[in-house]
Amino acid sequence: MTAHQQFDVIIIGGSYAGLSAAMALGRSLKKTLIIDSGRPCNRYTPHSHNFITQDGAVPSAIAASAREQVLRYESVQFVEDLAVQGRPTATGFEIITRSGEKFAAKKLIFATGVKDLLPEIKGFEDCWGKTVIHCPYCHGYEFKHKKTAIMANGERAVHIASLVNNLTHDLSIVTPGKADFNPEQLARLQKHHIGIIEKNVKEIIHQNGQVSALIFEDGTKEHFEAVYAAIPFEQHCDIPAALGCEFTEAGHIKTDQVHKTSVASVYACGDNAGMMRSVAYAVAAGNLAGAMVNNELTQESF
């Protein structure tokens, strides 16, 4: 392994959390490598919201500006590649990329995000991140007072409904099959005049990603202008699992309050380790993770 491939920290994932962590490390002169494959979770979304100073900006533009600023720090390098393997070594960790490159570091930060598992519903992917959305904080204001559906069931549907109810009073929950609500939840939904449609969605009618209606498997049709969808996800990167990191029941990498994982010298931040999926949260989480890794390195050598 050549000298230029040895780093203090390798950050896997170069979007908002990863770049934020790299800035904290770069400003502390820690030799840092960012490995990124160029497929961020929010690539479907045309505009980012609820991020102070950047409200309404294009996500890719935010990331490009961040990368330019981070790479001004001479101790930070960026490689466009996919990390595919990782293993512990006597002095830290080795990461191998898809192109066959090998890099070593004392510490790892995973800022790899998650992969949404889109349902096989015609039109869903075309609308995802535009008018089929996941987060009231990221997208809700833009669809205030619109006729809105929530594609979810059980506690998850009730939680989303409680947040969206403040934004629109024309709200229905669309459950995949039979509704799964207890009497208390049903009473809360009825109190706020939130309807329940117990039908499977076959197709989303749209124009360039703008929802106009849902078509159900029984052939019926219902007009909507926005749809919240609670869909499953999986980790983008399987290296944390291979290293022995623990995961939450929901599927996130388990971390403590400073983003340490269950494996020593391994940190995780952003969508892969937290339920709050937003650019603002990712930036904050990355900044803290970078500072904590810097502190750990400093205390080990001071």
Q: Is the pLDDT reported for residue 87 higher than 50? A: yes
Q: Is the pLDDT reported for residue 1 higher than 80? A: no
Residue-level length of the chain: 302
pLDDT for res 41? 65
Name the CATH superfamily for 124-229.
FAD/NAD(P)-binding domain (3.50.50.60)
pLDDT band of 56, cuts 50, 70, 90: confident
pLDDT band of 43, cuts 50, 70, 90: low
**What are the residues whose beta carbons fall under 8 Å from the beta carbon of 151, sequence distance 6 or more?**
174, 176, 201, 227, 228, 229, 230
Which range has the worst mean pLDDT, 41-50, 87-96, 178-187, 288-297? 41-50
- Return phi, psi of residue 186, to 5°: -60, -40
Rounded mean pLDDT, 133-143? 91
Rounded mean pLDDT, 82-90? 97
| More confident position, 270 or 57 | 270
Write down the domain spans for the chain.
3-116+232-301, 124-229
Does the domain at 3-116+232-301 match CATH 3.40.80.10? Answer given as: no
pLDDT for res 42? 64
Distance separating alpha carbons of residues 26 and 70, to the nearest angstrom: 7
Same topology between domain 3-116+232-301 and domain 124-229 = yes
Tokens of 153: 């069931």
- Amino acid making up residue 226: A
Average pLDDT, the chain: 94
pLDDT for res 3? 41
Render pLDDT for 111-124 as a digit per residue (tens, 0 to 9): 999 999 999 999 99
The pTM assigned to this predicted structure is: 0.92
Distance separating alpha carbons of residues 219 and 58, to the nearest angstrom: 37
